[in-house]
């Protein structure tokens, strides 16, 4: 086990060197956050399909409980129960469009993770940095519970719990707990907890920040102990449900699955759940007493409980929907937390966009009209006055608007259309529009995944480390 401890020290030192200008020390935050014995308990696993590349290389690393798909290289890193999905990487011969440039991709892209410590982190999508088309790199980086690194190369950074960096290259940055950043490229920045920042330089800039006292109720991470708050309690209360799906080798579907739908073998499906055609349910998703209509999806770390989704719904990575009724084409962004109550249902009309990292936590019935944009913290109906706007009205913004804690500058029309185009792309990539012949996506390609496990050294100084492993076709 000495080798794991030495590797941890190496990673922390490298991250701290990168963050020295911000005077930020990651060690008090993550020291003993995952007990060393936990790093040796769980197998890692990877998927093989005829539709995805297979090129996995693991050197001098711990991969405890982590999942890999596609083309991934991990070197001198600690990964604890993380999901590394290389199923949307660019391929040799693709054209990458950036501004007025169409840049040819010269070789298949891979995810490379070097000298990093990723705790219960999702890594997905492809590099959106035009300077690193063939390598989606994560270097000298620490990320904590339920963070998302989505198409975002990272060099010398720290991500707090439930944070998301989306389509953004970041260098030497600190991303606070429950912050969402989609800003193209950032460096040497410290993003405060609860910041929601969406920027397209020269086009628009959306900024919202949660009130610190209220955010702490949901997620609080002072360091020296695991993260605390409603989000962690919610996940921990359902942790045991996942133990069976990871402990049992062969497990059969507990509900009927249509032929064009993918229900991941490592998802938890509780009674009275129904899923329709072209539905994608990813690993570590949790469904209970819910209905997912045609073309809906539940991505990694999603929880959908006592709810109904009409169809073509996007429930992005880490989002939670409880006691809610969602119309068609409703988008729920990363790590959003939408909670109605049994006698106070939450209703969201069709074609609405729930921004990433939105909290709707109501004790009274709440209805959001069709075609609305919603953001921030909503505890009662009056909060919608400052935290929502119809998409039609938002599209008419052409200068600057301030509502409550939200500031928007630029073109509202461009902001809305960018979201709508991305939602369409997500549905298309997930196979929501498959007609039996055309538009095949993840819901169809992920049906026949073969899962394989890999194990670390069981004893000695190398206990918990995995030997060098190369897995190729």
Q: Which CATH number is 2-167+448-471 given?
A: 2.160.10.10
Query: Using an 8 Å Cβ cutoff, are 444 and 50 in contact?
Result: no
The DSSP annotation for 113-124 comes to EES-EEES-EEE
Strand ranges across the sheet with 190-191: 78-80, 117-119, 142-143, 158-159, 174-175, 190-191
pLDDT averaged per 10 residues, the chain (length 473): 93 98 96 90 92 93 96 98 94 86 92 98 95 95 98 98 98 98 97 98 97 96 91 96 82 87 94 96 97 98 98 98 98 98 97 98 97 98 98 97 97 98 96 95 90 93 95 93
How far apart are alpha carbons 378 and 387 in whole angstroms?
Answer: 7
**Residue (of 82, 70, 135, 116) closest to 471 by Cα position:** 70
For position 380, what pLDDT does the model report? 97
Q: How far is CA 425 from CA 166, 320, 326, 417, 420, in A?
A: 15, 21, 20, 12, 9
**pLDDT number for residue 251:** 77
Helix (H, G, I), strand (E, B) or coil at 198: strand
pLDDT of residue 100: 81
Give yes or no on whether 2-167+448-471 and 238-398+411-445 have one common fold.
Answer: yes
Q: What residue has token string 């991470």?
A: 221
Q: Is 238-398+411-445 in CATH node 2.160.10.10? A: yes
Taking Cα atoms as reference points, which of 209, 211, 212, 176 lies closest to residue 191? 176
Convert 332-348 into a string of H (helix), E (strand) and C (coil): ECCCCEEECECCECEEE
The whole-number pLDDT of residue 233 equals 98
Please report, for the chain, the start and end positions of each structural domain, with discontinuous segments joined by +: 2-167+448-471, 238-398+411-445
pLDDT of 447 reads 86
pLDDT at 52: 85
């Amino acid at each position: 086990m000495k080798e794991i401890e030495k590797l941890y020290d190496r990673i922390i030192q490298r991250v701290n060197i990168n963050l020295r200008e911000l005077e930020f020390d990651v060690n008090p935050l993550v020291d003993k956050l995952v007990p060393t014995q936990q790093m040796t308990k769980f197998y890692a696993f990877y998927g093989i399909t005829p539709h995805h590349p297979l090129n996995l290389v693991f050197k001098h690393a711990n991969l405890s409980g982590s999942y890999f798909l596609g083309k991934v290289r991990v070197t001198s890193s600690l990964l604890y129960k993380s999901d590394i999905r290389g199923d949307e990487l660019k391929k040799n011969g693709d054209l990458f469009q950036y501004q007025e440039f169409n840049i040819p991709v010269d070789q298949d892209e891979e995810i490379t993770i070097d000298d990093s410590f990723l705790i219960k982190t999702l890594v997905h999508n492809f590099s959106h940095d035009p300077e690193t088309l063939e390598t989606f790199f994560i270097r000298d980086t620490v990320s904590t519970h339920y963070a998302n690194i989505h198409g975002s190369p990272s060099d010398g950074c720290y991500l707090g719990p439930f944070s998301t960096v989306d389509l953004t290259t970041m260098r030497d940055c600190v991303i606070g707990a429950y912050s969402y950043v989609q800003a193209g490229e950032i460096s040497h920045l410290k993003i405060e907890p609860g910041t929601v920042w969406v920027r397209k330089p020269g086009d628009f800039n959306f900024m919202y920040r949660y009130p610190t006292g209220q955010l702490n109720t949901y997620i609080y991470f002072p360091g020296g102990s695991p993260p605390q708050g409603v989000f962690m309690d919610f996940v921990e209360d359902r942790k045991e449900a996942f133990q069976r799906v990871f402990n049992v080798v062969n497990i059969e579907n507990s509900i009927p699955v249509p032929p064009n739908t993918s229900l991941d073998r490592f998802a938890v499906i509780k009674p009275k759940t129904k899923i329709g055609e072209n539905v994608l349910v990813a690993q570590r998703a949790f469904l209970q007493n819910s209905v997912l209509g045609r073309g809906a999806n539940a991505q990694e770390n999603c929880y959908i409980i006592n709810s109904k989704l009409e169809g073509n719904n996007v429930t992005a990575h880490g989002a939670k929907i409880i006691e809610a009724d969602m119309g068609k084409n409703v988008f729920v962004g990363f790590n959003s937390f939408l909670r109605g109550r049994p006698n106070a249902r939450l209703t969201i009309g069709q074609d609405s966009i729930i921004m990433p990292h939105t909290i709707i936590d109501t004790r009274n019935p709440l209805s959001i009209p069709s075609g609305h944009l919603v953001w921030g913290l909503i505890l009662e109906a009056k909060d919608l006055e400052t935290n929502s706007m119809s998409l039609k009205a938002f599209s008419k913004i052409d200068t600057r608007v301030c509502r409550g804690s939200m500031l928007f500058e630029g073109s509202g029309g461009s902001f809305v259309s960018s979201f709508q185009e991305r939602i369409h792309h997500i549905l298309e990539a997930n196979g929501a529009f498959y007609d039996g012949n055309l538009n095949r996506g993840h819901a169809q390609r992920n049906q026949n995944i073969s899962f394989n496990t890999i194990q670390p050294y069981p004893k000695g100084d190398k206990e918990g480390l995995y030997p060098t492993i190369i897995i190729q076709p």
